[in-house]
Amino acid sequence: MSASAHRRIVGKLVIASHNPGKLREMRELLAGYGVAAVSVGELGLPEPEETGTSFRENAVIKAVSAAQASGLPAFADDSGLVVDALGGEPGIHSARWAGPDRDFARAILAVERRLAECGADSPEQRRAHFVSALCVAWPDGHLEEFEGRVDGQMVFPPRGAQGFGYDPVFLPDGFERTFGEMSSEEKHGLPPIGRGLSHRARAFVKLAEACLERR
């Protein structure tokens, strides 16, 4: 699709997430583009059942649900941690591993226990990557979709209290600090200030080039 074929996001945009960490990152990424962001929680909209079998499918489900319910363009992210030694788990079930109370400390321990069970103790055996699929849906059915990925390895014990989710045990390639030890600017700050390092930032850079205009 050429740049001219993409649809621009103007005015108000619904962020289709109830996750406080994701909401914070999405709002920080959108800052400076003249878009007024409101969350589905602020609108009192429920979370749809994520029945997709891929990050992309679940992002579409969330964005379309929010767009149809609000009558506004909606922006959804579906992202997760993919651990090679675990056959791609937790993958699209990354949040579910944390349970209904979003206890990611428990989820991190579950990942580490599984890695120990399969004897994954060297850096090469602990390879992993984060994936972020972004979708913007309009009430008329138009969709814009983008994906980003960042590779790295799992570390333990957790390091750092920044970020959220599995950030404290993910060490991105080429760095000596985990996502949990990085400031938000370091992790997902966009050029020229930041490197656009995170999976969500990398997907967002593609979205911004296609659908947003810097104010």
Q: Is residue 90 reached through a cis peptide bond, with omega within 30 degrees of 0 on the bond before it?
A: yes
Q: How many CB atoms lie within 10 A of CB 42?
A: 11
Residue 193: its pLDDT value, please?
Answer: 64
Residue 2: its pLDDT value, please?
Answer: 47
Q: What domains can you pick out in the chain, each with its CATH number?
A: 3-211 (3.90.950.10)
Coarse DSSP helix, strand, coil percentages of the chain, rounded to the nearest 5 percent: 40, 20, 40
Catalytic residue, chosen from 77, 78, 167, 173, is 78
Question: Among positive and negative, which fits the CA dihedral 153, 156, 160, 164?
Answer: positive
User: Which pTM does this prediction carry?
Assistant: 0.89
78 noted as active-site residue? yes
Among candidates 200, 191, 121, 202, which has minimal Cα distance to 156?
121
Q: What is the pLDDT of residues 164-187, one digit of tens each?
A: 899 999 999 999 999 999 998 888
